[in-house]
Amino acid sequence: MEPNSRIIVALDFDNRRAAEEIVDRIGEECRVYKVGLELLTAAGPDLIERLVAMGKDVFLDLKLFEIPNSVAGAVRAAGALGVSMVTVHSTGGTGIMAAAVATARDFPRLRVLALTVVTSMTGSDLADIGVEVSPQAQVLRLARLAEGAGCHGVIASPQEAARLRGVPGPDSLIVTPGVTLPGESPAGHARSGTPRAAITAGASHVVVGRTVTRAADPVAALRLVRADLDR
């Protein structure tokens, strides 16, 4: 995998102009960008089309959790936009994940990733919704479910990456948000880790957000992330 492909920069903005300014400043230093619900709602699909036209890979983080027909429709729309990765909630069960995977077959470059347990959740959060196991145990359980549904990979925190390697197939992706440089605050992530720790543990990709996008020099910050990976 090319070094520039392992790092996904999250465009966590509430307007198109700010997102485009960061992409333009970073230039060829980043190949893959994450667009989430906030930016998609604010900017619409035109931004995604522009990123794809620029030769960027787009990770469309929709976290789909709906009836299978609706999930299939959303995945089809994502594929038509040219995105490379789209997320579904594994908590929704095999039905919605299988529907997403089946629809993605019409788009050879599109990968369906199953979100396991969001990085902000702790054991007490899971207990609130009736899940009486640790986040680590729940991540493994849901990863096995996603593998059975045919998903191309999973989303989990850096702290679960080592346990996950070997659960999905050998070509499956393990994408880890909640990544910060050593000494940085994890912000809203309860289960975080450094880029190096995530990749060493078995992650295929790391997602970085404010570490890069809110830095005074985004290019220099991105290079620090890459240096941590290569250490």
Q: What is the pTM of this model?
A: 0.93
CATH number where 151 lies:
3.20.20.70
60 strand-pairing partners: 35, 86
What pLDDT is stored for residue 178 in this prediction?
A: 87
What pLDDT is stored for residue 127 in this prediction?
A: 96
Domain that residue 221 falls in: 3-230
Catalytic residues: 63
Residues 6 or more apart whose CB falls under 8 angstroms from that of 55 comprise 31
Mean pLDDT, rounded, for 114-119: 95
- Is residue 158's pLDDT more than 70? yes
Structural domains in the chain (count): 1
- Give whole-number Cα distances, 62 to 97, 150, 158, 163, in Å: 13, 18, 20, 25
Contact 221, 195 (CB under 8 A): no
Closest CA to 219 of 32, 49, 13, 28: 28
What pLDDT is stored for residue 76 in this prediction?
A: 98
The identity of residue 16, as a single letter, is: R
Give me the chain's average pLDDT, please. Answer: 93
